[in-house]
Amino acid sequence: MSLFDECGKTLKKSNDHCNSCMCNQFRSFTAGRTVDVILSGVEFTDLVFTCVDLKSCCVTLMDDTGTFIVDCNKIEAIRLLNG
């Protein structure tokens, strides 16, 4: 399992505030993973995971229109679209 901070710097797992179910899922993803996410009841589709910052809980995702940065503690659901 890979843990990323600042888009690629490896960190040891620590007692931080990014411990929700969704944050823990993003911790295990590698860059390039395609997902759909539900945030405040709204579905965002075909997002490509880039990185997770374990200090801020920010997950960086991209789609055809740009970059999507969200607090992983606020994500309600993730749909995994590729391996």
pLDDT at 29 (0 to 100): 94
pLDDT at residue 2, as a whole number: 46
Mean pLDDT, each 10-residue run in order, the chain (83 residues) = 49 65 93 95 96 94 96 96 72
State residue 54's pLDDT score.
85
Q: How many residues would you count in the chain?
A: 83
Determine the Cα–Cα distance for residues 76 and 55; give it in Å rounded to an integer: 20
Annotation: CATH topology of 4-80? SH3 type barrels. (2.30.30)
Whole-angstrom distance, CA of residue 51 vs CA of residue 24: 13
Q: Under a CB-based contact definition with an 8 Å cutoff, are residues 67 and 61 in contact?
A: yes
Which string of DSSP letters, residue by residue, matches 58-75?
EEEEEETTEEEEEEGGGE
- The structural domains of the chain, with segments of one domain joined by +, span 4-80
3-state class (DSSP) for residue 22 = helix
